[in-house]
Amino acid sequence: MLVLSPLILLALGALAPLFLGSRATAIRTVALGASVLALIASVIGIVYAPQHIDIPWLKSLGLSLSLHLDGLSMFLVALTALATVAVVAFSDETKRPGGYYSLILLMAATAIGTFLSTNLLVFYVFWELMIIPGYLLIGTYGQGANSRRAALKFLIYSLVPSAFLLVAIVALAVSAAPALGHLSFSLSQLASVRLPAATQDWIFLLFAASFMVKVPIWPLHAWMPDAYGESRPQVAAMLSGVLSKTGLYALIRFAFPLLPDAARLFAPALAVVALISILYGAWIALTHRDGRMVIAYSSLSHLGLVFLGVVALNALGLDGAVLQMLNHGIYAVALFLLFGVVEEAAGTRLLSKLGGIARKAALFSGFLWIAVLAALGLPGLNGFAGEFLLLLGIFHTSEVWAWIAIAAVVFSAAYFIRLFQLTAQGPTEPELRQPLRFGPLRIAAMVPFILLIFYLGWAPGQVTGRVAPVAQSITRQEASTALTVPVSNLSGEARGL
Partner 1 sequence: MHSVIVLALLFPALGALLAAWIGPRLSHRLIAWICVGAVSLSFLVAVAAFVRLSGLPAAHRLIQDTLFTWNVAGGTPIHFTLLVDPISVLFMLVITGVGALIHLYSAGYMDDDEGFSRFFWQMNLFIVAMLLLVMAGNFFFLLVGWAGVGLASYFLIGFWYKRPAAVAAAKKAFVVNVVGDVALTLAIFLLFVNLGHVGYQTVFRQFSILPVATRDLVAALLFVAAAAKSAQFPLHIWLPDAMEGPTPVSALIHAATMVTAGVYLVARAFPIFGLAPSVATTIAWVGGFTALFAATIAIAQDDIKRVLAYSTVSQLGYMFMAVGTAAYAAGVFHFLTHAFFKALLFLAAGSVIHALGGEQDMWKMGGLRRTIPLTAATFLVGTLAISGIPPFAGFFSKDEILGGLLSGGQVGLWAIGTLAAGLTAFYMFRLYFVVFGGTARAPGHAHESPPVMTVPLVVLAVLSTVGGFLVLPGGYNLIESWLLPALTRFGPIPPLPPPTNWAAMAVSLAMALIGFGSAWALYGRKAPQVEPLHGPLHRLLKGKWYIDELGEWLIVRPALWLGSALERFDRKGLDVAFSRVGLLVAGWGESLRPTQSGYVRRYALGFALGVMLVVAFLSLRP
Q: How many CB atoms lie within 10 A of CB 192?
A: 14
Of residues 164 and 454, the one with the C-beta less far from partner 1: 164
Of residues 427 and 435, the one with the C-beta less far from partner 1: 427
- Closest approach of partner 1 to the CB of residue 320, in Å: 8
Are the C-beta atoms of 241 and 452 separated by less than 8 Å? no
Q: Does 400 bind partner 1 (CB under 8 A)?
A: no
Indicate the SS3 state at residue 216: coil
Q: Does 410 bind partner 1 (CB under 8 A)?
A: yes
Are the C-beta atoms of 251 and 208 separated by less than 8 Å? yes
For the chain, the distance separating the N- and C-terminal CA atoms, rounded to the nearest angstrom, is 43
Phi and psi (nearest 5°) for 184? Answer: -145, 145
Phi and psi (nearest 5°) for 58? Answer: -115, 95
Are the C-beta atoms of 48 and 105 separated by less than 8 Å? no
Closest residue by Cα to residue 262 from 196, 324, 325: 196
Are the C-beta atoms of 260 and 477 separated by less than 8 Å? yes
Of residues 6 and 387, the one with the C-beta less far from partner 1: 387
Count of residues that interact with partner 1, criterion CB under 8 A: 79
- Closest approach of partner 1 to the CB of residue 80, in Å: 24
Q: Does 315 bind partner 1 (CB under 8 A)?
A: yes
- Closest approach of partner 1 to the CB of residue 3, in Å: 24
List the x/- string, 254-293, binding to partner 1 by CB under 8 A. --------------------------x--xxxxxx-----
Q: Does 174 bind partner 1 (CB under 8 A)?
A: yes
Q: Which stretch binds partner 1 (CB under 8 A): 13-21, 236-244, 438-446, 454-462?
A: 454-462
What is the 3 state secondary structure string of 320-382? HHHHHHHHHHHHHHHHHHHHHHHHHHHCCCEHHHCCCHHHHCHHHHHHHHHHHHHHCCCCCCH
List the x/- string, 152-171, binding to partner 1 by CB under 8 A. xx-xxx-xx--xx-xx--xx
Of residues 347 and 380, the one with the C-beta less far from partner 1: 380
Of residues 225 and 260, the one with the C-beta less far from partner 1: 225
List the x/- string, 329-368, binding to partner 1 by CB under 8 A. ---------------------------x-x----------
- Closest approach of partner 1 to the CB of residue 245, in Å: 20
Closest residue by Cα to residue 243 from 140, 118, 114, 121: 114
CA angle in degrees (0–180, nearest 5) for 124-130-134: 150
Q: Does 183 bind partner 1 (CB under 8 A)?
A: no
Closest residue by Cα to residue 397 from 478, 324, 330: 478
Q: Which stretch binds partner 1 (CB under 8 A): 96-104, 110-118, 151-159, 439-447?
A: 151-159
Q: Does 208 bind partner 1 (CB under 8 A)?
A: no
Q: Does 434 bind partner 1 (CB under 8 A)?
A: no
- Closest approach of partner 1 to the CB of residue 85, in Å: 27
Query: Which amino acid is it at 495?
Result: R
